[in-house]
Amino acid sequence: MSQSIEQLLASPEGKTLEFKRDLSSPRNLLKTLVAFANAAGGRLIVGVDDDRQLVGVSDPLGEEERICNLIADSIAPRLVPNVELISVGTHTLLVVEVFPSSSRPHYLKREGAEQGVYVRLGSCSRQAGADLIAELRRSAQGLVFDELPMPELSVEDLDLQAARRLLGPERRLDDKALITLKLLRREQGRLVPTQGAVLLFGKDREQYFPDAWVQCGRFRGTDKVDILDQADIHEPLPDAVTAIELFLKKHAFKSAQFGAARTSGAYR
């Protein structure tokens, strides 16, 4: 272990650490192990109660065999964690260390490959939706979302003028350059835009990515009920950054003016 058991016991539960009193709730325990494997890995320590008091496991060798059988019988694809027994004072703890897996997404067999996938969110294990499951599969295969092709489109669906404006007019944006920038890739014998290219410079970006726009708003107070100003920004995403900055600067300037007026009035 990279950390001593004393350091782990003094740490709060989180993305890579969880404590269990015993193996009486195997489903929750297995959900945690699946979530660890689908994310950054983690350690499950059995024999610690909710008050962080050591209670140990009553039958160490039997519990070790039981958890190994549970993992083998309940999780797919096969998960091979490091399972060990560690003595702390008069107590024996069962420690299961799960490593980030190249076979993700792992899932609970009883719940199936679509419903039994869990990921770690803070100190909780949450069921993954279809989009996240797809992302786990891509990451396990070394695929990047932005670089995936959109074979139904062509280079004509990209706003290359917007690209030149961002990258500079001196840069040639021929096919070779667009491939190098991962804005185009060859698919079935033809060049097609990548998803990243359409997100950045697609002429009809929102037809394919309806959420790829930005809404800015300024509210009165903190309850987000009374809106003072808003802007819906639909420009190409690189240009959207400038529009967002302008919106923020406008309201920062107004706030500064308001503060100056209040200060001036106070000293009259």
Tens-place pLDDT, residues 130-186: 988 988 888 877 777 888 899 999 999 999 988 988 888 788 889 999 999 999 999
Whether pLDDT at 262 is above 50? no
Confidence of residue 264 (pLDDT cuts 50, 70, 90): very low
Per-residue model confidence (pLDDT) at position 2: 55
- Can you list the domains of the chain with their CATH numbers? 5-140 (3.30.950.30), 145-208 (no CATH), 214-266 (no CATH)
- Give, for 86, the enclosing helix (H) or strand (E): strand 82-88
Whether pLDDT at 19 is above 80? yes
CA-to-CA distance for 185 and 182, rounded, in angstroms? 7
> What average pLDDT score do residues 235-262 get?
76
Q: What is the largest CA-CA distance in the chain?
A: 82
> What average pLDDT score do residues 56-75 get?
95
Per-residue model confidence (pLDDT) at position 228: 87
Per-residue model confidence (pLDDT) at position 107: 96
Q: Tell me, what amino acid is at 98? A: V
CA-to-CA distance for 255 and 259, rounded, in angstroms? 6
How many residues can be counted in the chain?
268
Per-residue model confidence (pLDDT) at position 147: 87
Look over the chain and give the mean of its residue pLDDT values, rounded to a whole number.
88
> What average pLDDT score do residues 238-252 get?
89
Q: With CA atoms as reference, report the closest residue to 102 among 77, 67, 124, 131.
A: 77
pTM over 0.75: no
> What average pLDDT score do residues 90-100 get?
94
> What average pLDDT score do residues 107-130 get?
94
- Give the alpha-carbon dihedral of 171, 176, 179, 184, to 10 degrees: 90
Per-residue model confidence (pLDDT) at position 1: 54
